[in-house]
A and B are shown apart, each in its own frame.
Chain A
Amino acid sequence: MNPTTLDAAELREIFLAVAEPNAVRALALTVSLVLVAVVLWLVRRRGLREEYTPIWMGVAFALVVVSIRLDWLHVIARAIGAWTLSSVIFFLGEVFLVAVCLSYAVRLSQADVHIKNLAQEIALLRTRMDSLDDG
């Protein structure tokens, strides 16, 4: 039997061509459904405001799409030079988490300014009330 030599690109194609088991699809679908359920549950309990839900609904929707169309992940994998679909998912997950963290840091900065302004307003109003009481 002649030994076969493969270059890196061919080896990567073999990795990418490995069929994803249906269990993975089922897992992705389950995770997306659970995510939607948790988001709706949090909204109902007022633990999450409606305006914060689109991003998580978007993630759930993306998981459904990915589980149905795994071939789209192949396109991304080839574009970014990844060897496996799992590393593509990890990469996209990291990008998403960085974006979410940045988004919340911006919101937190805005909330910080609002809290400071409110506390200052309380201090000013309290002093005005005291002077009215004294007067």
Chain B
Amino acid sequence: MTPVLIIPAFNEADRIATVLERVAAAGTGCQVVVVDDGSADDTAAIARRCGATVLHHPFHLGYGAALQTGYKYALENGADLVVQMDADGQHDPEAIRALMAAIHNDQFDLVVGSRFLEMTNYQMGLLRGLGRRLFSGLASLAGLQISDPTSGFQALNRRVLELYVGDFFPHDYPDVDVLVAAYRSGLRVGEIPVHMSEGTRASTLHGGFRSIYYVYKMTLSLWSAPTRVARSGAVSEDPTP
């Protein structure tokens, strides 16, 4: 089965064509699926014109729900490998092959493209830098070593897909909480270095109230996600990877 590249998009009409052209130029061999999360602009039409399969939410559900719609599509269509990237152009499609290779080689079940495994010129603000350290620290308490817990550039196999279509998966920001849930479910979670430019999704860690809410919500999710996964019956028999 052809790998599926999921690109959640919300009001990205200005950028989605460029992103899809770059993906096509990278020659990944993936079926490109754009999940239009109830955009008010022409995101869906542009993506369709660029040759992508478009899943269109009737209204805005959130980044996590859009990703999950892509997972459900991939699962229904028998995909064994899924790559996810953002529609704002911050992820370099040239890195998709490396992410896929880490899954193909059966090195990991889920691999995260990290900005921080190697020295890069990626600039992260003070607040986001603190947030990254906080969540990396919390993840390590759960046993998962992760340098870039907010990276949405990931590849995953069918085992992870089967886990991620569960109702525990958050509607808004699936970040380190779902990585920890996957890890605690016995899946192998790893990282490879990637280069990224500044995007917009990471702006969840910008701004006063939203950043406070994000930290609060993510901490609560980190604590509750493994229990929720277990309650959904999606956890493996041995929770220790």
Contact = CB atoms under 8 A, between A and B. Distances in A.
Contacts of B176: none
A120 B69 contact: yes
B73 A122 contact: no
Given A113-B167, A123-B55, A124-B55, 12 more contacts: A119-B57, A119-B61, A119-B65, A120-B72, A122-B57, A122-B58, A123-B56, A123-B58, A123-B69, A126-B55, A127-B53, A127-B56
A124 B58 CA distance: 11
Nearest to A117: B167
A104 to B, nearest CB: 19
Top 3 A-B pairs, shortest CB-CB distance:
A123-B55, A120-B69, A116-B65
Given A112-B171, A113-B167, A120-B68, A126 B61 contact: no
Contacts of A112: 171
| B: interface residue count bin | 10 to 19
B56 to A, nearest CB: 6
Interface string A106-135: 000000110011011011101100000000
Contacts of A123: 35, 55-58, 69
A107 B59 CA distance: 21
Main secondary structure of the interface of A (DSSP, over half): helix
Nearest to A122: B58
B76 interface: yes
A126 B35 CA distance: 12
Interface string B30-55: 00000100000000000000000111
A113 B65 CA distance: 10
Contacts of B57: 119-120, 122-123
B55 A116 contact: no
Interface residues of A, number: 11
B65 A120 contact: yes
A112 B62 CA distance: 12
B171 A119 contact: no
A116 B61 contact: yes
23 contacts: A112-B171, A113-B167, A116-B61, A116-B65, A117-B167, A119-B57, A119-B59, A119-B61, A120-B61, A120-B68, A120-B69, A122-B57, A122-B58, A123-B35, A123-B57, A123-B58, A123-B69, A124-B55, A124-B69, A124-B72, A126-B56, A127-B54, A127-B56
Contacts of B72: 120, 124
Contacts of A124: 55, 69, 72-73, 76
A76 B111 CA distance: 59
A120 B67 CA distance: 10
Contacts of B171: 112, 116
Contacts of B54: 127
Nearest to B60: A119
Nearest to B38: A119
A10 to B, nearest CB: 48
A119 B58 CA distance: 6
A131 B235 CA distance: 34
A51 B55 CA distance: 36
B217 to A, nearest CB: 13
Contacts of A127: 53-56, 73
B108 to A, nearest CB: 26
Contacts of B65: 116, 119-120
Nearest to B35: A123
Contacts of A117: 167
Contacts of A122: 57-58
Contacts of B73: 124, 127
